[in-house]
Amino acid sequence: MSNPKIVPVILAGGSGTRLWPISRDSLPKQFLSLGGTRTFYQQTLLRVPAAGDSVTAPIVVTGEDFRFFARRQAAELGIDATIVLEPARRDSAAAIFTAARIAAERYGEDSLVLALAADHLVPDVELFRDALLAAAEVAAKGYIVTFGIKPTEPRTSYGYIRTGEALGVAGASRVDSFVEKPDAATAERYLAEGYLWNSGNFIFPASLMLAEAERFEPAILEGVDAAIGAAKTDLGFIRLDKSAFLTIPAKSIDYAVLERTKKAAVIEGRFAWSDIGSWDAVRELGPVAEDGNVTHGPVSLLDSRNAFVHSEGPLVTGIGLDDITIVASDDAILVMPSDRSQDVKNLVAGLKAEKRNEANEHIRIHRPWGTYETICRGDRFHVKKIVVEPGATLSLQKHHHRAEHWVVVKGTAEVTQGERTYIVNENESTYHPVGEIHRVANPGKIPLELIEVQTGSYLGEDDIVRYEDIYNRA
Amino acid sequence: MSNPKIVPVILAGGSGTRLWPISRDSLPKQFLSLGGTRTFYQQTLLRVPAAGDSVTAPIVVTGEDFRFFARRQAAELGIDATIVLEPARRDSAAAIFTAARIAAERYGEDSLVLALAADHLVPDVELFRDALLAAAEVAAKGYIVTFGIKPTEPRTSYGYIRTGEALGVAGASRVDSFVEKPDAATAERYLAEGYLWNSGNFIFPASLMLAEAERFEPAILEGVDAAIGAAKTDLGFIRLDKSAFLTIPAKSIDYAVLERTKKAAVIEGRFAWSDIGSWDAVRELGPVAEDGNVTHGPVSLLDSRNAFVHSEGPLVTGIGLDDITIVASDDAILVMPSDRSQDVKNLVAGLKAEKRNEANEHIRIHRPWGTYETICRGDRFHVKKIVVEPGATLSLQKHHHRAEHWVVVKGTAEVTQGERTYIVNENESTYHPVGEIHRVANPGKIPLELIEVQTGSYLGEDDIVRYEDIYNRA
Of residues A416, A417, A403, the one with CA closest to residue A443: A416
Residue B343 shares a structural domain with residue B399: no
Domain end among B353, B378, B406: B353
Kindly determine whether residue A319 and residue B343, on different chains, have CB atoms separated by under 8 Å.
Answer: yes
CATH number for position A439: 2.60.120.10
Residues contacting B446, CB < 8 A, separation 6+: B390, B410, B411
Q: Are residues B233 and B348 in the same domain?
A: no
pLDDT of B362: 86
**Does any domain span residue A41?**
yes
From the list B189, B173, B164, the residue with the least C-alpha distance to B141 is B173
The top-scoring range by mean pLDDT among A109-118, A148-157, B147-156, B179-188 is: A109-118
d(C-alpha A135, C-alpha A116), whole Å: 13
B98 lies in some domain: yes
Residues in chain A: 474
Q: Cβ of A403 under 8 Å from any chain B Cβ?
A: yes
What's A284's DSSP letter? Answer: H
Q: State yes or no: pLDDT of A404 exceeds 60.
A: yes
On whether the CB atoms of residues B134 and B28 are closer than 8 A, the answer is no
Rg of chain A, C-alpha, whole Å: 25
Burial of B229 (0-12, 13-18, 19+ CB in 10 A): exposed
**The residue count for chain B:** 474
Determine phi and psi for B294, rounding to 5 degrees.
-120, 120
What's the rounded Cα separation, in Å, for the pair B463 and A150? 60
**How many angstroms away from the CA of A351 is the closest CA of chain B?**
8
The Cα A93–Cα A217 span in angstroms is 9
Q: Is the dihedral of CA A182, A183, A188, A189 positive or negative?
A: negative
Q: Round to whole Å and give the CA distance between A327 and A316.
A: 9
Residues A32-69: tens digit of each pLDDT? 998 778 999 999 999 998 888 899 999 999 998 899 89
Whether residue A244 is contained in a domain is answered as yes
C-alpha to C-alpha distances, A440 to A194, A447, B349, nearest whole angstrom? 60, 13, 49
Which residues on chain A are in Cβ contact (under 8 Å) with B453? Answer: 407, 409, 429, 451
How far does B302 lie from chain A, in Å, by closest CA?
6
Nearest-Cα distance to chain A for B333, in Å, is: 5
- List C-alpha distances in Å: A441 to A69, A72, A427: 19, 17, 17
| B302 inside domain | yes
d(CA B79, CA B98): 21
Taking the CB of residue A168, how many other CB atoms lie within 10 A of it?
A: 10
In one letter, which amino acid is A170?
A: A
One DSSP character per residue, B48-65 reads SPPSSSSB---EEEEEGG
Q: What is the C-alpha to C-alpha distance for residues A406 and A436, in angstroms, rounded to an integer?
A: 14
pLDDT band at A415 (very low <50, low <70, confident <90, very high): very high
Interface of B with A in 20-59 (CB under 8 A): 21
Asked if the Cβ–Cβ distance from B328 to A314 is below 8 Å, we say yes
Phi, psi at B466, each rounded to 5°: -100, 130
| In chain B, residues 409-438 whose CB comes closer than 8 Å to chain A | 409-410, 426-427, 429, 431
Residue A452 carries which DSSP code? Answer: E
CB count within 10 Å of CB B211 equals 16
Which has the closest alpha carbon to B307: B297, B322, B327, B328?
A: B322
The answer to whether A403 contacts B350, with C-beta atoms less than 8 Å apart, is no
For residues A82-102, average pLDDT: 95
**Phi-psi map region of B9: left, alpha, beta (phi>0 left; psi -120 to 50 alpha):** beta
Is residue B388 located within the same domain as residue B441? yes
Report chain A residues whose CB lies below 8 A from the CB of B409: 378, 380-381, 453, 455
Rounded distance, CA B44 to CA B31, Å? 11
Q: Cβ–Cβ of A375/B375 closer than 8 Å?
A: yes
Q: Do A317 and B21 touch (CB under 8 A)?
A: yes
pLDDT tens string for chain B (474 positions)? 457 899 999 999 988 789 999 999 888 999 999 877 899 999 999 999 888 889 999 999 999 889 989 998 999 999 999 999 999 999 999 999 999 999 999 999 999 999 999 999 999 999 999 999 999 999 999 999 999 999 988 988 899 999 999 998 889 999 999 998 899 999 999 999 999 999 999 999 999 999 999 999 999 999 999 999 999 998 789 999 999 999 999 999 999 999 999 999 999 998 999 999 899 989 988 899 989 999 999 999 999 999 999 999 999 999 999 999 999 999 999 999 999 999 999 999 999 999 998 998 888 888 889 999 988 888 888 899 999 999 999 999 999 999 999 999 999 999 998 889 999 999 999 999 999 999 999 999 999 999 999 998 888 888 999 888 888 776
Q: A402: nearest CA in chain B? A: B427
DSSP state of A72: H
**Considering only alpha carbons, which residue of chain B is nearest residue A387?**
B378
Q: Which CATH number belongs to the domain containing residue B245 in this structure?
A: 3.90.550.10
Q: Which residues of B31-61 are buried (b: 16+ CB within 10 A; e: fewer)?
A: bbebeeeebbbbbbbebbeebeeebbebbbb
In a domain, A1, yes or no: no
- Chain B residue closest to A301 (CA)? B347
Backbone angles phi, psi at B380, to 5 degrees: -130, 25
Last residue of a domain, one of B305, B332, B353: B353
* Amino acid at site A230: A
How far are the Cα atoms of A330, A360, A406 from residue A364, in angstroms, in the given order? 10, 12, 18
A372-396 residue pLDDT tens: 998 888 888 889 999 999 999 999 9
The answer to whether residues B349 and B369 belong to one domain is no
The three-state secondary structure class of A393 is: strand
Residue A274 counted as domain residue:
no
Same domain for A190 and A80, yes or no, is yes
B 249-308 near A (Cβ less than 8 A): 300, 302-303
Q: Is residue B1 part of a domain?
A: no
- State how far the Cα of B128 lies from the Cα of B148, in Å rounded to an integer: 11
Q: A297 and A261 share a domain? A: no
Task: Put the strands of the sheet holding B465-468 in their side by side order.
Answer: B420-424, B413-417, B438-441, B396-398, B465-468
From the list B302, B315, B410, the residue facing A332 with the nearest CB is: B315
CB A185 within 8 A of CB A99: no
State whether A255 and A287 are in the same domain.
no
Q: Are B48 and B79 in contact (CB under 8 A)?
A: no
Q: Are B413 and B389 in contact (CB under 8 A)?
A: no
Same domain, residue pair A243 and A130: yes
Contact B392, B449 (CB under 8 A): no
Q: Which domain holds residue A339?
A: 279-353
What local confidence, expressed as pLDDT, does residue B172 receive? 94
Task: Give the nearest chain B residue to A432 (CA atoms).
Answer: B427
Same structural domain for residues A75 and A197? yes
Window A:336-395, CB contacts with B under 8 Å: 336-337, 340, 343-344, 346-347, 350-351, 354, 356, 358, 375-376, 378-381, 383, 385
Q: What DSSP designation does A48 have?
A: S
User: What percent of chain A has a predicted confidence (pLDDT) above 90?
Assistant: 77
Q: What distance in Å separates residue B75's CA from the closest CA in chain A? A: 25
* Alpha-carbon gap, residue A147 to B56, rounded angstroms: 84
Name the maximum alpha-carbon separation found in chain B.
75
A15 with A102, same domain: the answer is: yes
- Banded model confidence at residue A2, pLDDT cuts 50, 70, 90: low
User: Is the same domain home to B180 and B312?
Assistant: no
Judged on CB neighbours under 10 Å (0-12, 13-18, 19+), A192 is exposed
* Residue of A332, A383, A385 lying closest to B317 (CB–CB): A332
Residues A240 and A85 sit within 8 Å (Cβ to Cβ): yes
- State the first-to-last Cα distance of chain A, in angstroms, to the nearest integer: 50
**Over the Cα atoms of chain B, what is R_g?**
25
Over residues A292-320, mean pLDDT = 96
Q: Which amino acid is at B171?
A: G
Looking at per-residue pLDDT, the higher value among A236 and A422 belongs to A422
Contact yes or no for B215/B208 (Cβ under 8 A): no
Residue pair A438/A432 in contact (Cβ under 8 Å)? The answer is yes
Asked if A333 lies within 8 A of B315 by C-beta distance, the reply is yes
- Residue B374 — φ and ψ, nearest 5°? -75, 125
Total number of domains constituting chain A: 3
How many interchain CB pairs under 8 A, A with B?
A: 184
> Do residues B79 and B175 both lie within one domain?
yes
Other Cβ atoms less than 10 A from the Cβ of A370: the count is: 20
- Rounded Cα distance, A220 and B463, in Å: 67
Which among B303, B383, B405 is the nearest to A429, CB-wise?
A: B405
Phi, psi torsion values for A38, nearest 5 degrees: -110, 145
Nearest by CB: A343 against B302, B343, B351: B302
Amino acid at A447: P
Instruction: State whether A383 and B451 contact (CB < 8 Å).
Output: yes
**A24 DSSP 8-state letter:** B
Residue B159, classified by CB atoms within 10 Å of its CB into exposed (0-12), middle (13-18) or buried (19+), is middle
Residue B274 lies in a domain: no
Which chain A residues contact residue B317 at CB under 8 A? Answer: 21, 332-335, 347, 351
Where a domain ends, among A332, A353, A374? A353
